[in-house]
Amino acid sequence: MGLRDLLKEKAEKHGGLRGLAKEALRRAGGSGAEATSPPTSPSSSPPSPAEPVQAVAPVSPPAPVSAPAPVKPKDDGPFVKVARSEQVPEGKAGTYVIGEDAIAVFRVKGKLFAIDQTCVHEDGPLGEGKLEGHVVSCPYHDWRYDVRDGRCLSATDRAVACFAVKEEGGAILIGRKVSESSGERGGAHDDGLQVIVKDIGKI
């Protein structure tokens, strides 16, 4: 019997060539199961875990801007007692000297006003002038002033100084100077007199 016939005989005993192959694998120590290829993994490396997202701190709203503190006005003091209240009656004036300042105090509608006593025209005494409402006229040349703010109505670019004044405990008190007098002097006369200009260099 040739090799071909021998293989055919053995194949018939084991149910064909496939059965013969299984028998040969069994004897060789195999499981007899068909070999299967292990699953292939993707060529690319596994994705790395995503980096944690850093939490962003919430942005705090800007702090509210506080309103500026109100400016406290300067103190009008110290006050100096100059007279009793009855010494300056309604519509009248009184003149008082504090340091180097001569101050005229007027009472108009129950309220006191204090201005520089000296007229900015030719230094006339305003405390001795005629008072009509809130306007006093200088007794020298009738230059007029508003006693409420010291404005000169005869020369609007000029003014006399004003002082703080108050009434307390039946007394009149004068405080600090709250505005300055004009430094300029001279000018026309409201009473119609001609202005005499002297050349100081020829005197």
Domains detected in the chain: 1-30 (no CATH), 80-191 (2.102.10.10)
C-beta atoms surrounding 190 within 10 Å? 17
Task: Please give the average per-residue pLDDT across 174-201, as a whole number.
Answer: 67
Which of the 8 DSSP states describes residue 130?
A: E
Task: Please give the average per-residue pLDDT across 116-144, as a whole number.
Answer: 96
Which of the 8 DSSP states describes residue 88?
A: S
Q: pTM for the full model?
A: 0.57
Higher pLDDT, 173 or 77: 173
What is the C-alpha to C-alpha distance for residues 188 and 177, in angstroms, rounded to an integer? 28
Say whether pLDDT at 168 is over 90: yes
- CA distance readout (Å), 137 to 87, 123, 147: 21, 13, 10
How far the first Cα of the chain sits from its last, in Å, is 175
DSSP percent split of the chain into helix, strand, coil, nearest 5: 15, 25, 60
Q: Cα 27 vs. chain centroid, distance in angstroms? A: 102
Say whether pLDDT at 202 is over 50: no
Place of tokens 């019997």: 1
Question: Do β-strands 135-137 and 144-146 pair in parallel, antiparallel, or remain unpaired?
Answer: antiparallel
